[in-house]
C-alpha cells in the first residue's frame, strides 16, 4: 500500500535541467530519505512534491489521487505538509501561537461566537491550546510556549516547525534537513521523534545531510546526483552501491585525470 507516489518528476529552469525523471514511492509508517551531494536537486524535488514549484513533467499522487502542482494550502487539507531547510516560522507570534496556527484547518469557527467570546468558543480555544501544548511537549519546547518565536535558537525553531507541521495532522510529512544546525543531543532528539512519528503511521520523506542519522533511521533511501536518481534501496544496499560511492567520493579514474 503506497500513500505517496512520485512518477517521472522533472523540472527545468531555463535551459538547466534541475531534476530529471525521478520516481519512487512511500508507504505509511515508512521513513524514506532523499540524499545526494550539494546541488543534486533534493530541495527542488521537495518543492515540486509539496506544490511550491510546478514540475515540467511527471506526476505526484497522494493516496492514489493526482496532486501534481496542487498549491500548498490544499495539500495541507489533504494531509501533506512540510518543513523548510531555511525555516518558515511566524516570527511575530509566540511559540504556542505558531503551533495553534497549525490547527487552522481543524477549527470549526462561528464568527458570532468568536466575536462575542461565547463560552462555546472559549472552550474550543482552550481545547486547541491544550493540544498545541501536547505537541510542544513532544518536541521539548513546552517551557518556551509563551516566548516570541523570533527569539528562539535555530535548533529550537527547527523543532517548532515540526510541531506546527504535526498540528496540521499530516499523513505524509516532508522534512527538509530537520537536523541541520542542531548539536549532537538535539539531532538525537529529532532522530527519536521522527522514528516515533513513523511508528504512529505517518509517512516521512526526509532530506538530510547527516549520513549517520539517515543510515540509522531510514527504511528506504533514494540517491540523487545532478538531478537524476542514481540508486535506491535499503541503507545497506545504497551505502555499498558503486555509483553512490562515486558520487560522494569521486571515481577512481578522476585523480588519474587530474594527474595527467
Partner 1 sequence: MDAFMQFIYSGLTVGAVYALVALGFTIIYNASDVVNFAQGEFVMLGGMITVFAFDAGLPLPLAAVLAIVIAAAIGVALNKLAIEPARGAPVVSLIIITIGASILIRGASQIVFDKQLHRLPAFSGDEPIHLLGATLLPQSLWVIGGAFAIFVALWLFFTRTLLGKAVLATANNRLAAQLVGINTGFVMTLSFALSAAIGALAGVLVTPITLVSYDVGVGLALKGFAAAMLGGMGNPKGALVGGLLLGLFEALTAGYISSQYKEAVAFIVILGVLFVMPQGLFGAKKTERV
Binding-site ranges for partner 1 (CB under 8 A): 52, 71-73, 76-77, 81-82, 84, 86, 88-93, 101-105, 107, 109, 111, 114-115, 117, 150, 164-165, 167-168
Let me know: does 220 contact 198? Beta carbons within 8 Å.
no
Query: Per 3-state DSSP, what percentage of the chain is helix, strand, and coil (rounded to 5)?
Result: 45, 25, 30
For partner 1, give the closer residue by CB, 36 or 102. 102
For partner 1, give the closer residue by CB, 93 or 246. 93
Q: Minimum distance from CB of 201 to partner 1 (Å)?
A: 20
Q: Minimum distance from CB of 168 to partner 1 (Å)?
A: 6
Let me know: does 15 contact 188? Beta carbons within 8 Å.
no
Tally Cβ neighbours within 10 Å of residue 11.
Answer: 22
Query: What are the residues whose beta carbons fall under 8 Å from the beta carbon of 170, sequence distance 6 or more?
Result: 76, 79, 80, 81, 202
Q: Minimum distance from CB of 255 to partner 1 (Å)?
A: 36
Helical (H) or strand (E) element with 198: helix 184-199
For partner 1, give the closer residue by CB, 39 or 150. 150
Q: Minimum distance from CB of 111 to partner 1 (Å)?
A: 5
Let me know: does 4 contact 172? Beta carbons within 8 Å.
yes
For partner 1, give the closer residue by CB, 10 or 102. 102
Amino acid at each position: 500500500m503506497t500513500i505517496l507516489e512520485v512518477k517521472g518528476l522533472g523540472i527545468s529552469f531555463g535551459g538547466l535541467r534541475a531534476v530529471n525523471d525521478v520516481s519512487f514511492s512511500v508507504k505509511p509508517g515508512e521513513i524514506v530519505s532523499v540524499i545526494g551531494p550539494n546541488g543534486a536537486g533534493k530541495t527542488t524535488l521537495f518543492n515540486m512534491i509539496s506544490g511550491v514549484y510546478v514540475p515540467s513533467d511527471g506526476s505526484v499522487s497522494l493516496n492514489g489521487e493526482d496532486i501534481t502542482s496542487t498549491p500548498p494550502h490544499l495539500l495541507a487539507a489533504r494531509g501533506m505538509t512540510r518543513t523548510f531547510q531555511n525555516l518558515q516560522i511566524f516570527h511575530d507570534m509566540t511559540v504556542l501561537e505558531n503551533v495553534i496556527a497549525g490547527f487552522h484547518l481543524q477549527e470549526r469557527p462561528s464568527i458570532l461566537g468568536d466575536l462575542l467570546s461565547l463560552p462555546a468558543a472559549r472552550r474550543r480555544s482552550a481545547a486547541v491550546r491544550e493540544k498545541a501544548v501536547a505537541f510542544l511537549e513532544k518536541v521539548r519546547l513546552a517551557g518556551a510556549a509563551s516566548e516570541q518565536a523570533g527569539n528562539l535558537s535555530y535548533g529550537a525553531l527547527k523543532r517548532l516547525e515540526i510541531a506546527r507541521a504535526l498540528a496540521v495532522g499530516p499523513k505524509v510529512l516532508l522534512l527538509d534537513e530537520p537536523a541541520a544546525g542542531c548539536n549532537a543531543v538535539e539531532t538525537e532528539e529529532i532522530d527519536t521523534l521522527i522514528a516515533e512519528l513513523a511508528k504512529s503511521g505517518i509517512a516521512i520523506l526526509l532530506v538530510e545531510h547527516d549520513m549517520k542519522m539517515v543510515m540509522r533511521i531510514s527504511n528506504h533511501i533514494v540517491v540523487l546526483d545532478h538531478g537524476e536518481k542514481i540508486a535506491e534501496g535499503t541503507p545497506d544496499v545504497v551505502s555499498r552501491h558503486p555509483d553512490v560511492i562515486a558520487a560522494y567520493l569521486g571515481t577512481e579514474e578522476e585523480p588519474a585525470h587530474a594527474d595527467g
